[in-house]
């Protein structure tokens, strides 16, 4: 951020609350951001990058909502191709019922901000428009519409399709950054072990010294290949640390030492109960309340490690803010998954600002479909703007003077600066 000269740097006082309001609106709207957790891929990953109206409509959030309003048997839906599934979802959630949910509204926000006429309700027209687009050009268009500078991917060395792209020499796209995601390693060592062995790592089921060393080599190899900004895992509500388990051993002996050596954070996404309804497939995961004890003990026990944490249960959010007040090596991020709804984003952002000031990452999109970043960020920028307007206005009430350059500083920090300083610091 280039410092404004004293004369250019507008100072807002209580007499100019209206000027402050428009300054916050403008600055949050105009500040390019880093989306620190997505499931997007650079165009070079070809079919792994999902985009277009049929991918928007078959997003697993909408599939879950579809089955609430349709009596179609699960098997009949899954037997449809993507177009057939999208037709069923469009008809049920948008035509026969009002698209009131956040996921439905999001589809319409994305189409609308791409310049399509949502009043026509013509799925055929939307499909025709997307069919004319080039994937790489569309990435640039969507990033420009959403105001995104960088997107951080979720890269999985256990995914055969993705691994092939990396092993065939992926040419990095500067807008997309890598992350090493290690759920199988930490959550299912029995199934991960043979995959590491197949990759040439000398690992046995017992976590002996050689196996632990080879797991560290695996982590270093893929963190290097991905140029990983951080390592990440999603964890169940009953995640415990310390405990006598493969997860705790691999975490203590492998993941945290490698993260320290590479000076990268370890991100824990806590509270997901996988496949509570397997018939919904990717849409079948649920949520559970977790203890903050493991987070406290990890932050305290590994002061030279950096931790990023987001939790899936609404009832865990306040305690997470308290733990973040205790540990400077903990960075709270995002309104994850079932929390990515306006009512909860507002509640969480207010709570976090009131308890942690500007030292947070208020949001990530978690986008799986490129076009989703348009709506996920339009909706979140609106809420972040509202919260900041109120918080700066509270300062004016104390006689404090708020300067335009300070608003820019704070917004740049919230929309990416905090992340990059934490990663690189
Ligand atoms: O584990 C995760 O990263 C989650 O975000 C899951 O991918 C989940 O399916 C999702 O897309 N949530 O938004
Ligand atoms: Zn995710």
* pLDDT at residue 1, as a whole number: 45
With a cut of 50, say whether residue 34 has pLDDT above it: yes
User: Which of 181, 312, 366 to probe ligand 1 with, by most ligand atoms within 8 A of CB?
Assistant: 366
With a cut of 50, say whether residue 369 has pLDDT above it: yes
Indicate whether 2 belongs to any domain. Answer: no
Indicate whether 364 belongs to any domain. Answer: yes
Indicate whether 3 belongs to any domain. Answer: no
Q: Tokens 């000269």 label which residue?
A: 5
**pLDDT tens-digit readout, 91-127:** 999 999 999 999 999 999 999 999 999 999 999 999 9
- Which residue ranges have their beta carbon within 6 Å of ligand 1? 39, 154, 234, 269, 282, 337, 366, 368
147, two tokens: 């105001």
**pLDDT tens-digit readout, 117-154:** 999 999 999 999 999 999 999 999 999 999 999 999 99
H, E, C per residue of the chain: CCCCCCCCCCEECHHHHHHHHHHHHHHHHHCCEEECCCCCCCHHHHHHCECCHHHHHCCHHHHHHHHHHCCCCHHHHHCCCHHHHHHHHHHHHHHCCCCCCHHHHHHHHHHHHCCCCHHHCCHHHHHHHHHCCCHHHHHHHHHHHHCEEEEECCECCCCHHHHHHHHCCCCCCCCEECCEECHHHHHCHHHHHHHHHHCCCCCCCCCCHHHHHHHHHHHHHHHHHHCCCCEEEEECCCCCCCCCCHHHHHHHHHHHHHHHHHCCCEEEEECEECCCCHHHHHHHCEECCCCCHHHHHHHHHCCCCCEEEEECCHHHHHHHHHHHHHCCCEEEECCCHHHCCHHHHHHHHHHHHHHHCCCCECCCCCCCECCHHHHHHHHHHHHHHHHHHHHHHHHHCCCCCEEHHHHHHHHHHHHHHHHHHHHHC
- Please identify, by atom number, the ligand 1 atom nearest to the C-alpha of residue 37: 3
- Please identify, by atom number, the ligand 1 atom nearest to the C-alpha of residue 234: 1
- Please identify, by atom number, the ligand 1 atom nearest to the C-alpha of residue 340: 13
| pLDDT classification of 6: cutoffs 50, 70, 90 | low
Q: How far is the C-alpha of 136 from the C-alpha of 375, rounded, in Å?
A: 20
Which positions ≥6 away from 389 have C-beta within 8 Å? 20, 21, 24, 25
User: Which of 154, 184, 186, 234 to probe ligand 1 with, by most ligand atoms within 8 A of CB?
Assistant: 234
Q: How many domains is the chain built from?
A: 1
In the chain, pLDDT over 90 holds for what percent of residues? 97
With a cut of 50, say whether residue 319 has pLDDT above it: yes
Q: Tokens 């203590």 label which residue?
A: 252
List the domain range (segments joined by +) for residue 383.
11-424
- Please identify, by atom number, the ligand 1 atom nearest to the C-alpha of residue 368: 11
With a cut of 90, say whether residue 308 has pLDDT above it: yes
CATH at 109: 3.20.20.140
With a cut of 90, say whether residue 394 has pLDDT above it: yes
Mean pLDDT of 351-371: 98
Indicate whether 241 belongs to any domain. Answer: yes
336 CA from centroid of ligand 2 (Å): 8
Indicate whether 24 belongs to any domain. Answer: yes
Indicate whether 1 belongs to any domain. Answer: no
Indicate whether 4 belongs to any domain. Answer: no
| pLDDT classification of 3: cutoffs 50, 70, 90 | low
* pLDDT at residue 7, as a whole number: 57
With a cut of 90, say whether residue 48 has pLDDT above it: yes
Neighbours of 133 (CB within 10 A): 15
Indicate whether 103 belongs to any domain. Answer: yes
22 CA from centroid of ligand 2 (Å): 33
* pLDDT at residue 337, as a whole number: 98
| pLDDT classification of 190: cutoffs 50, 70, 90 | very high
49 CA from centroid of ligand 2 (Å): 15
With a cut of 90, say whether residue 5 has pLDDT above it: no
* pLDDT at residue 120, as a whole number: 98
Mean pLDDT of 42-69: 98
With a cut of 90, say whether residue 4 has pLDDT above it: no
């Amino acid at each position: 951020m280039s410092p404004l000269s004293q004369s250019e740097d507008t100072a807002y006082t209580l007499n100019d609350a209206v000027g402050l309001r428009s300054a916050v609106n403008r600055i949050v709207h105009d500040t390019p951001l880093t989306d620190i957790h997505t499931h997007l891929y650079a165009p070079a990953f070809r079919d792994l990058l999902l985009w277009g109206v049929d991918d928007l409509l078959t997003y697993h959030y909408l599939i879950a909502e579809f089955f609430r309003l349709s009596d179609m048997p699960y098997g009949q839906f899954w037997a449809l191709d993507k177009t057939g599934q999208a037709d069923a979802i469009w008809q049920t959630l948008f035509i026969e019922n009002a698209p009131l949910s956040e996921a439905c509204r999001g589809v319409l926000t994305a189409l609308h901000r791409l310049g399509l006429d949502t009043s026509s309700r013509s799925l055929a027209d939307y499909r025709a428009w997307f069919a004319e687009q080039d994937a790489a050009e569309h990435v640039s268009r969507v990033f420009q519409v959403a105001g995104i500078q960088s997107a951080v991917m979720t890269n999985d060395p256990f995914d055969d399709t993705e691994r092939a792209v990396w092993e065939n020499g992926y040419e990095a796209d500067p807008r997309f950054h890598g992350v090493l995601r290690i759920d199988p390693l930490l959550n299912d060592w029995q199934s991960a072990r043979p995959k590491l062995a197949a990759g040439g790592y000398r690992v046995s089921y017992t976590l002996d010294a050689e196996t632990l060393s080879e797991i560290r080599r695996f982590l270093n190899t893929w963190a290097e290949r991905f140029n990983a900004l951080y390592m990440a895992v999603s964890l169940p509500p009953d995640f415990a640390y310390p405990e006598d388990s493969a997860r705790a051993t691999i975490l203590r002996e492998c993941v945290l030492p490698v993260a320290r050596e590479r000076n990268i954070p370890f991100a824990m996404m806590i509270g997901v109960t996988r496949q509570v309804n397997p018939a919904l497939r990717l849409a079948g995961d649920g949520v559970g309340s977790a203890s903050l004890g493991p987070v406290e003990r990890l932050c305290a026990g590994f002061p030279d490690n950096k931790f990023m944490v987001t939790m899936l249960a609404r009832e865990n959010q306040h305690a997470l803010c308290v733990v973040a007040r205790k540990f400077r090596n903990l960075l709270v991020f995002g309104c994850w998954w079932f929390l990515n709804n306006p009512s909860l984003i507002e509640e969480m952002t207010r709570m976090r600002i009131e308890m942690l000031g500007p030292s947070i990452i208020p949001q990530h999109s978690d986008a799986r479909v490129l076009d989703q970043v348009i709506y996920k960020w339009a909706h979140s920028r609106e809420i972040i703007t509202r919260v900041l307007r109120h918080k700066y206005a509270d300062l004016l009430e104390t006689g404090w003077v708020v300067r335009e350059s300070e608003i820019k500083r704070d917004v740049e920090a919230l929309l990416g600066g905090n992340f990059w300083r934490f990663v690189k610091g």
